[in-house]
């Protein structure tokens, strides 16, 4: 990313922004790789409730990432998109490199704010990095994602989000999402609560189709 494009979008500006807007929801954004050169997973973590959204993308190009966000804005509407994704925090990868393309949506209106972690400081978005461990329980490193469908990935997402967390007082992220997001938004995002005794976090998940 060029220094010019980073002006106003560095981690320093992120800290300033959340200090001035303490109630803003921070959404951490990242990619999870499968087979080298194959399909990837785009992950978006709503930091306040630990809810992780997962989308299958074909390649590590910015257009693939933007297509997901554009489709979400089209599905939710710009106002609801702003409510769910008001601030994106990500790394300096080329797939996230144009802040204006992310901030301004399909209707030319500002839909979010994007900021970038400092180089080699993955701990600055440590919650999404930690949540990727759940993905790796089911899809270990080196696993190809090429045969997966978005339906498979949504299933994966719902089992992960239905896993109770000690840091959430024994609740799961979906429990909290049911309290702070509308039923319509949850439906559009594909969020469903899986009963605790049916949650599967192993490779057997996809053998249960």
Instruction: Give the percent of the chain with pLDDT over 90.
Output: 82
**Quick one: pLDDT at residue 3?**
53
pLDDT in tens, 58-104: 999 999 999 999 999 999 999 999 999 999 999 988 999 899 999 99
Closest by CA to 100, choosing from 89, 112, 91, is 112
Burial class (CB in 10 A: 0-12, 13-18, 19+), 114: buried
Closest by CA to 159, choosing from 198, 199, 204, 207, is 199
Q: How far apart are alpha carbons 32 and 134 in whole angstroms?
A: 12
**Quick one: pLDDT at residue 152?**
96
The whole-model pTM stands at 0.94
**Are the beta carbons of 193 and 174 closer than 8 angstroms?**
yes
Token code pair at residue 24:
């803003």
To 10 degrees, the CA torsion angle through 45, 24, 88, 110?
Answer: 130
* Element containing residue 186 per DSSP (H, E): helix 183-189
**Quick one: pLDDT at residue 208?**
61
To 10 degrees, the CA torsion angle through 135, 139, 145, 151?
Answer: -60
* Parts of the chain with a pLDDT under 50: none
3-state secondary structure of 178: helix
**Quick one: pLDDT at residue 209?**
53
Place of tokens 């144009």: 98
Domain 3-208 CATH class label: alpha beta
Structural domain boundaries in the chain = 3-208
Strand partners, 41: 32, 56
């Amino acid at each position: 990313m060029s220094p010019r494009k980073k002006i106003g979008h560095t981690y320093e500006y992120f800290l300033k922004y959340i200090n001035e807007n303490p109630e803003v929801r921070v959404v951490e954004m990242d990619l999870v790789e499968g087979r080298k050169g194959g399909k990837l997973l785009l992950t978006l973590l709503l930091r306040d409730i630990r809810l992780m959204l997962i989308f299958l993308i074909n390649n590590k190009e910015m257009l693939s990432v933007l297509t997901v966000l554009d489709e979400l804005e089209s599905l939710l509407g710009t106002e609801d998109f702003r409510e769910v994704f008001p601030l994106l925090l990500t790394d300096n990868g080329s797939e996230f490199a144009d802040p204006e393309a992310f901030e301004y949506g399909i209707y030319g209106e500002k839909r979010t704010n994007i900021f970038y972690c400092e180089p080699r400081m993955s701990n600055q978005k440590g919650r999404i990095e930690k949540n990727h461990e759940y993905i790796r329980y089911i899809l270990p490193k080196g696993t190809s994602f090429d045969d997966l469908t978005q339906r498979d990935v949504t299933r994966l997402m719902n089992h992960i989000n239905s896993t109770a967390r000690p840091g959430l007082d024994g609740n799961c992220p979906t429990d909290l999402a049911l309290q702070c997001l509308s039923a319509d938004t949850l439906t559009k995002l594909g969020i469903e609560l899986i009963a605790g005794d049916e949650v599967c976090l192993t490779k057997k998940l996809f053998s249960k189709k």
